[in-house]
Structure 1
Amino acid sequence: MLLISLFLATLFLAYSNGANDNFKGVATLFGSRTSSYQTAILWATFTTFAGAITATFFAGALIKNFSGKGLVPDAIANAPEFHIAVVIAAGLTVLIATLMGFPISTTHSLTGAILGAGLVAFGLQVNFALLGTYFILPLLLSPIIAISLGAGIYSLSNYINSKWHLPVNKKMIDTCHFISAGIVSFARGLNDTPKIVSLILIIEYFSIQGGMITIAIAMALGGLLNSQKVAVTMSEKITSMNHTQGLSANIVTGVLVIVASRFGLPVSTTYVSVGSIFGVGLIGKKTNTRIFYQILLSWILTLPTAAIISGITYRLLQG
């Protein structure tokens, strides 16, 4: 019964993840009116699914990191109650943010959930050093790097255009924009799917390949059915953008997330994507700082919210 509950809860987490995350890769397409909402979400769904399937072969490091092993003792990391508490807490945290229109990090939610259940189970025996090195530090650095690179890439493109007066080929820019959006979505599927799959691998009936496909389908459904509010926040509320700004932001996001996936670093696609969009908006002086600060607050609250829900859920499952 516990394993069935874990499977269903993991599907719920994957659905919530898709609802909050799937549109992030194509937000600049819709925001710059390069495409309609429908075209953007379909492109995101296809490329995210492709990234999820590719993760079967290349993302073993992330599966290991998010199984909980190393952060908490193996006896707890392998327990169904621990996994159920983590999955429920992360899923609820992400879904609440989605319904409010806030793009948050599933990575951060999972980190908080692992921490909360681990603290209840073993107190201060949680490996805080590993938590800081492999989770907190990348999560803090990724948006800062993305803002800097987003601003830098867009400034460089403006400088080149102003100095050499290069002709602007809109069709070429739009094509590159679509490709870059696909790369971002592909990278997100590559980076996020292993984190969720790691939570159901204690179920003997699941291979890594079967788990990847199941989670990828649930993520796709979440994006198709419940991504509208986050889409508006990402595409329109952070900053207005033109085609070149959107392309610049997507290049930064795609490169950073793919590099992180290659080295097993659990960066947040959300933080990188929001950071790069905000960065290009800063150069264009069109950012909505109030919205950005609200998003930052939602990021700050993500970890403790997931930790509290996870700790309570784990205690209830023990009772």
Structure 2
Amino acid sequence: MLLISISLFLATLFLAYSNGANDNFKGVATLFGSGTTSYQTAILWATFTTSAGAIASILLVSKLIKNFSGRGIVPDAITNTSEFHLAVAIAAGLTVLIASLTGFPISTTHSLTGALIGPGLVAIGLKVNFTALGNSFFLPLLLSPIIAISLAAGVYSLSNYINSRWRLPANPRIVDTCHFISAGVISFARGFNDTPKIVSLILIIEYFSIQGGMITIAIAIALGGLLNSQKIAETMSTKITSMNKTQGLSANVVTGVLVIAATQFGLPVSTTYVSIGSIFGVGLIAKKANKRVFYQILVSWLLTLPIATIISGIIYRLLQG
């Protein structure tokens, strides 16, 4: 039992590290892509604000922890085992890290969703509660990028209209300050939203409190972002679309508002889908969006869930002996 507990703890840290590598730069991608700041400054700002969000999430975590514990999707007799949590952590971590190393910004939320399904399919087959999955996971995950694209396109179009109609004087310092604040808000919200999902995997270990788990996971997320964000930075900052400062700020405002709203309602939306949707939305209006890259990212999103499901199912089966 002690060996399984230690393995689960290490696997959850691995997932948190992978999450940081794939997700930490997403909030600051427009800062770097628009030339507002350097990569080093952007990732340091992301690390600080994401960690602040992770620590703040200690106060309001119950709903997301319940959603990502697996309860309601598969029977408690399965979700209460360390083998279940270990399979989920390893499968989700592998899926996210592979995507990070290949430059595909995928959703940790979606990876965890797939990883929750795998052991359930092995244990009880098609008796997995797919209705709960549809209501709690798939619907917000599918709708969030569509809403983000539409809102970002609208916000950027509105800002262009206002500037052209009234010819407001440009103030680069104010724009840059607002841009940094919006990036910080997104990163804070992501840390606030993602940390409880990962912490839920180790709460079965009796030695861990929610608070202790939060702090440990926050450190691992920060390290992942600092050490392995380069590929994701390249994809999100330059490959989806080229952008100026106004476009970057418009995308960030939409992302921040949507993620914070989803967090308050306990909806496990993906910051990835929202941020990429927002960046692509402003790129469409500016006629600079790289649709080929966007379609490749869409394919990676479609593959995320089945890959995580297969890996977690195999691992769970092996752990059963």
TM-score, normalised to structure 2, is 0.99
* Mapping of residues 31-42 of structure 1, within 5 Å: 31-42=33-44
Among 152, 169, 194, the alignment partner of 1:150 is 152
Among 219, 244, 249, the alignment partner of 1:217 is 219
Give 1:116 shift: 1.1
1:72 paired to 2:74: yes
Between the aligned partners of 1:310 and 1:220, the Cα distance in structure 2 is 25
1:283 paired to 2:285: yes
Aligned counterpart, 1:134:
136
**Deviation per CA, 1:179-219, whole angstroms, max 9, x where unpaired?**
00000000000010000000000001111000000000000
Give 1:102 shift: 0.3
Aligned counterpart, 2:260:
258
Give 1:279 shift: 0.2
Between the aligned partners of 1:43 and 1:191, the Cα distance in structure 2 is 18
Give the aligned residue type for 1:223.
G
Aligned counterpart, 1:20:
22
Aligned counterpart, 1:91:
93
Among 204, 207, 210, the alignment partner of 1:202 is 204
Which residues of structure 2 form unaligned runs of 5+? none
Between the aligned partners of 1:52 and 1:6, the Cα distance in structure 2 is 20
Among 164, 167, 170, the alignment partner of 2:169 is 167
| 2:260 partner SS | helix
Aligned counterpart, 2:59:
57
**Deviation per CA, 1:102-151, whole angstroms, max 9, x where unpaired?**
00000000000001111111111211100000000000000000000010
Among 226, 230, 233, the alignment partner of 2:228 is 226
| 2:59 partner SS | helix
Between the aligned partners of 1:160 and 1:192, the Cα distance in structure 2 is 36
Between the aligned partners of 1:177 and 1:252, the Cα distance in structure 2 is 12
Between the aligned partners of 2:281 and 2:302, the Cα distance in structure 1 is 20
Between the aligned partners of 1:57 and 1:96, the Cα distance in structure 2 is 32
Query: Does structure 2 conserve the Cα–Cα contact (< 8 Å) formed by 1:59 and 1:264?
Result: no
| 2:284 partner SS | helix
Query: Does structure 2 conserve the Cα–Cα contact (< 8 Å) formed by 1:17 and 1:94?
Result: yes
1:82 paired to 2:84: yes
Q: Indicate the larger mover: 21-30 or 120-129.
A: 120-129
Give the aligned residue type for 1:172.
I
Give the aligned residue type for 1:144.
I
**Deviation per CA, 1:275-298, whole angstroms, max 9, x where unpaired?**
000000000000111100100000
Between the aligned partners of 2:297 and 2:117, the Cα distance in structure 1 is 22
**Deviation per CA, 1:61-84, whole angstroms, max 9, x where unpaired?**
101100001111001011100000
| 2:201 partner SS | coil
**Deviation per CA, 1:169-188, whole angstroms, max 9, x where unpaired?**
11100000000000000000
Give 1:59 shift: 2.4
Among 95, 103, 108, the alignment partner of 2:105 is 103
Aligned counterpart, 1:9:
11
| 1:120 partner SS | helix
Give the aligned residue type for 1:151.
A
Q: What CA RMSD, in Å, does the superposition of the two structures yield over aligned residues?
A: 0.5
**Deviation per CA, 1:15-62, whole angstroms, max 9, x where unpaired?**
000000000000000000100000000000000000000110012210
Which residues of structure 1 form unaligned runs of 5+? none
Query: Does structure 2 conserve the Cα–Cα contact (< 8 Å) formed by 1:111 and 1:303?
Result: yes
Between the aligned partners of 1:46 and 1:6, the Cα distance in structure 2 is 27
Runs of 4+ in 1 over 4 A off after TM superposition: none
Using the aligned pairs only, state the percent identity.
80
Between the aligned partners of 2:208 and 2:156, the Cα distance in structure 1 is 45
